[in-house]
Structure 1
Amino acid sequence: MEIIKELGRITVLPISRFTAHGAYLTLSEGQEVLLPQGYLNGEEKEGDEKEVFIYTDSEDRLVAVTNRPVALLDEFAVMPVKQVAAIGAFMDWGLPKDLFVPVSEMGKPMKEGESYLVMVCVDYRTNRLIGVSKYQDFVLADTEGFEEGQEVEALIFERTDLGFKALINQHYEGLIYGNETFTGVSTGDHVKAFVKKRREDGKLDLQLTPIGRQKYEEGAEKILDALKDNQFLPLHDKSSPEEIKSILGMSKKHFKQSIGQLYKARKIVIKEDGISLVD
């Protein structure tokens, strides 16, 4: 059975004809695919082009839709489970028909309401799009190209005892340690992160703030912004880490380094009960 090359992708296709059910679009190999009536605005005409996503409906017929799923073919996304059955799980990926993850393609048993990292793949036996949560089969182990301090795009996909697992640039696995996470992050968040260390197993340790001196400058700017709003912050050397995290969202070590930098620059006054801007 031949795989339609537009399957699972966003593509622009011309309208070939209309029926009571919608408009038929012409695929690159000459086949037609239906764009249901609900996706038309009533102003289209033959020859017009529509940007659509191609997948299969509940009866395994090719269908086009104008809304975009959270992931295309060969892409990862974090998706919530809508329903679990004996044969697999049905994921919400933003389309009318849920994405099916067979039991054989689950990295671990799934639970309704929980979210998991899933890649969109083609089941070549049926020509259907399916989800695969065995992400380890797809992530790349060769991370030699990454350098300490490098900025990356990260998708938070699982919380563990150590912190948060993250997918880096859609291809690599990393970890953000929980005791270094001072701003709220949740599973499914896309964040800007920085490479802290490349481990022997090829995985990458990440942090959410820039590495080195730039980190302190960012912390100093954050403290200055808070002081401009409040004129005074009741934080000092003896403040608890919890107080500092609650008010500024940073660690006590980061706070002390940042106020040291501001003090040397004569931007702040350090008092016994807190800090304030220099008049």
Structure 2
Amino acid sequence: MLNLGQFNSMTVAETLPFGFLLRNQHGDEAILKHDDPQHADIAPDDEIEVVIYEDKQGQNCASLTPPKVLCDNTAALTVTGVSKHGAFVDWGIEQDLFVPIAQQDRLMQVGLTYVVHVYYDDKYQKLQGSTKLHRFYPETDAYLKSGDAVTLLVTAKSELGFKVLIENRCLGLIFKSDVFMPIKPGQSLTGFIKQVREDGKLDVALQRDDETGRSSLHEQIIEDLLAHGGVSTLTDKSPADEINRRFGVSKGAYKKALGALFKQRRIIINKEFIKLISEEMQ
């Protein structure tokens, strides 16, 4: 059978006035239309990899250009239209993807972008989308541990902070207190597992908040001072955005690092500048 929303290996069985008839080894068929931007080099008997989808008439169609997201995966997609039954999102091929109202975490609006999971609905035998990610991803992961570097997709804003999809396999949360730069749903980021709670749920941070992370920031500050003749006007009173631009960390983390370096007698701190102790310059 054909795998909708996934790559399928097909053979060009016949040339048609409007495209090509494709057939797989099981006899399943799909149409590759001439308006596909990559159809020009196709010839009879060619074996090609295509993504299968259904058009408005329910006919199996093929695309040489992959969509923005394959079935069983998740991506940020923009709404192109809404009806009383649901919303339609642009997923990068001819036929927009349908997101039923029952699969919307909140009612979707035209022109806005949402994080959508693409899945095959066995009941209706159709590809559909959903913004209710908890139906498809767990909130725990047996292999992730504190300090692990991870890829993140910001899925939604909540009262506590931002919900994220971690490594495209489980859900987690970035608390407001750990957000030190502008982020928004649909944004891809790198981050770190801050902690694994007793119930197995995952808290995520955008910077390492352990001994390794703190040590790295300490050395970055020392290297920055050395590069600027031992003096910097970026103090613990500087704006958070300036600190983030220089070191990619929160103001709180920077202040802690300065405090640690001061206690180690590696720097001098005042309101206007920080300065390396002379021994560090040697």
Identify the residue that residue 61 of structure 2 maps to in structure 1: 63
2:14 is aligned with 1:17:
yes
Q: Residue by residue, what CA displacement relative to the aligned partner does 1:206-228 show, whole Å, maximum 9, x if unpaired? A: 01122412212443465467557
Identify the residue that residue 94 of structure 1 maps to in structure 2: 92
After TM superposition, list the pairs within 5 Å mapping 1:1-279 onto structure 2: 4-39=1-36, 40-220=38-218, 222-223=220-221, 232-239=231-238, 241=240, 244-245=243-244, 248-259=247-258, 273-275=272-274, 278=281
Q: Residue by residue, what CA displacement relative to the aligned partner does 1:5-54 show, whole Å, maximum 9, x if unpaired? A: 32110133222222221222222421221111133453332222222111
Change (3 A) 1:238 1:49: same
Which stretch has the larger CA shift, 37-46 or 262-271? 262-271
Aligned length: 276
SS of 1:53's equivalent in the other structure is: strand
- Please give the TM-score of this superposition, normalised by the length of structure 1: 0.83
Contact kept? 2:195, 2:204, Cα under 8 Å: yes
1:96 is displaced (CA, Å) by 2.0
Name the aligned partner's letter for residue 29 of structure 1.
H
SS of 1:136's equivalent in the other structure is: helix
Contact kept? 2:10, 2:23, Cα under 8 Å: yes
Change (3 A) 1:71 1:224: farther
- Please give the TM-score of this superposition, normalised by the length of structure 2: 0.83
Contact kept? 1:11, 1:51, Cα under 8 Å: yes
Counterparts of 1:92 and 1:222, CA distance in 2: 43
Contact kept? 2:140, 2:202, Cα under 8 Å: no
Contact kept? 2:147, 2:192, Cα under 8 Å: yes
SS of 2:102's equivalent in the other structure is: helix
Counterparts of 1:221 and 1:18, CA distance in 2: 65
4+ residue segments displaced more than 6 Å? 261-269
Change (3 A) 1:100 1:266: same
Counterparts of 1:195 and 1:203, CA distance in 2: 11
1:111 is displaced (CA, Å) by 2.1
Counterparts of 1:268 and 1:113, CA distance in 2: 51
Contact kept? 1:6, 1:27, Cα under 8 Å: no
Counterparts of 1:246 and 1:54, CA distance in 2: 44
- Cα RMSD for the two superposed structures: 3.0
Change (3 A) 1:58 1:150: same
Structure 1 unaligned regions, length at least 5: none
Name the aligned partner's letter for residue 132 of structure 2.
K
Counterparts of 2:219 and 2:17, CA distance in 1: 61
Contact kept? 2:11, 2:45, Cα under 8 Å: yes
Q: Residue by residue, what CA displacement relative to the aligned partner does 1:106-128 show, whole Å, maximum 9, x if unpaired? A: 22222223332322122334432
Which stretch has the larger CA shift, 199-208 or 217-226? 217-226
Name the aligned partner's letter for residue 167 of structure 1.
L
Counterparts of 1:236 and 1:206, CA distance in 2: 27
